[in-house]
Amino acid sequence: MSSLSTNTNRPSRLARILNSNMAYSFRRNPVAMVSMGVFLLIAIASIFAPLIAPFDPYDPANIDIMNSEFPPVWVDGAEAEFVFGTDDQGRDLWSTILYGTRLSLIIGLCAVGLQAFLGITIGLLAGYIGGRLDSLLMRLADIQLSFSTLMVAIIFLAITQAMFGSETFNQYAVYFLIAVIGIAEWPQYARTVRATVLAEKKKEYVDSARVLGFGPIRIMVRHILPNSLSPIFVISTVQVANAIISEASLSFLGLGMPPSQPSLGSLISSGFDYIFSGSWWITTIPGVVLIVLVLVINLLGDWMRDVLNPKLYKG
């Protein structure tokens, strides 16, 4: 009986949290509203990049080296065609930034999706099954956490690049980046989910669900998982911000997206050589976009942490 009632209450409780408390504090928090607005703007702009961008930066036919290093339109010597100027290869910077942001976002979101999938699965298993498996997985999580993600990623990508050569590497760079950032950070999720599982497992409704003959997977997914949603939300925002920074850092080092298919990080990297010669915009404008993107995600994460106030797993 108690399992039936919790079963029907559960989604509505979540809906109530999302509808009332969060919405209320969202309306009262101008920082959260502006951040959300800016994030949606960037997200929509990058989703529709092919429609918005005046040029296709991946199409060599569009690129003329003679157009290189035009400044943005508000600076002397600009071409009206190129709003934010052009980069060192003569690509329209505005279009390249749109496509680059799209790549950065895709890699960030997919990597975090992979982290969440691995982490939640492992966390549920460790918490639900417990015993030896639990201690083994958590020991693994400790070790994994003590290695810096960025360090592991740098070494892995550097070796991969050296082994396969730049050309093959560049072709699959997106997948390498998603995989390496995605695999390295699963313990964050696993620990939090495991903690919730351990707390929920003791509760009555889980017992009654078991007595009623529901399988472990159903119990975990339908009954236990919803209780870890708020910490998962909070972790995810921070992780997306971190993943975007990691991707940008790796691409900046030349271990990520190639200049022919630049993400924000590789765009900044290719512009870095030119800031001494005065072409500051190739680095600065994508740099600002990157900072704004990460900042609004972090601000949203901070706001969410304040509202949901989840018990996050601490070291």
Instruction: For residue 30, state whether it binds another protein (rule: CB under 8 A).
Output: no
- Whether 290 and 271 have beta carbons less than 8 Å apart is answered as no
Of 81 and 306, the one with the shorter C-beta distance to another protein is: 306
Region near another protein per CB under 8 A, out of 55-63, 108-116, 198-206, 282-290: 282-290
Instruction: Report the 10 Å Cβ neighbour count for 75.
Output: 11
Q: Smallest Cα–Cα separation from 60: which of 251, 260, 263?
A: 260
Q: Please name the helix (run of DSSP H) or strand (run of DSSP E) that holds residue 253, with its range, or none.
A: none
- The CA distance from 221 to 264, in Å, is 37
> Which amino acid is located at 281 in the chain?
W
What type of residue is 119?
G
Q: Does 298 bind another protein (CB under 8 A)?
A: yes
Question: Per CB under 8 A, does 29 bind another protein?
Answer: no
Three-state secondary structure string covering 5-44: HHHHHHHHHHHHHHHHHHHHHHHHCHHHHHHHHHHHHHHH
Question: Looking at beta carbons only, is 119 or 265 nearer to another protein?
Answer: 265
Distance CA 133, CA 129 (A): 7
| CB-based contact 48:101 (threshold 8 Å) | no
User: What does the CA dihedral 245, 247, 248, 250 come to, rounded to 10 degrees?
Assistant: 120
Look at the chain and count its residues. 315
SS3 92: strand
Instruction: Work out whether 162 is an interface residue with another protein (CB under 8 A).
Output: yes
Question: Which of 131/278 has CB closer to another protein?
Answer: 278
Per-position x/- string for 196-215, each x denoting binding to another protein as judged by CB under 8 A, each - no binding:
--------------------
Binding string to another protein for residues 226 to 265, with x set by CB under 8 A, is what? ---------------x---x--xx--xxx----------x
Among 86, 287, 304, 310, binds another protein (CB under 8 A): 287
Q: Which residue in 48, 172, 175, 272 binds another protein (CB under 8 A)?
A: 272
Helix (H, G, I), strand (E, B) or coil at 90: coil
The torsion angles phi and psi of 136, rounded to 5 degrees, stand at: -65, -50
Cβ distance to another protein smaller for residue 67 or 149:
149
Tell the smallest beta-carbon distance from residue 20 to another protein (Å): 14
- Please give the size of the binding site for another protein, defined by CB under 8 A: 40
78 binds another protein, rule: CB under 8 A? no
Tell me if residue 212 falls in helix, strand or coil: coil
Which residues within the stretch 99-158 sit at the binding site for another protein (CB under 8 A)? 143, 145-151, 154-155, 158
Is residue 315 part of the contact set for another protein (CB under 8 A)?
yes
Residue 129 or 162 with smaller CB distance to another protein: 162
Q: How far is the CB of 143 from another protein (least distance, A)?
A: 8
Sites of contact with another protein (CB under 8 A): 143, 145-151, 154-155, 158-159, 161-163, 241, 245, 248-249, 252-254, 265, 268, 272, 275-276, 280, 283-284, 287, 290-291, 294-295, 298-299, 302, 314-315
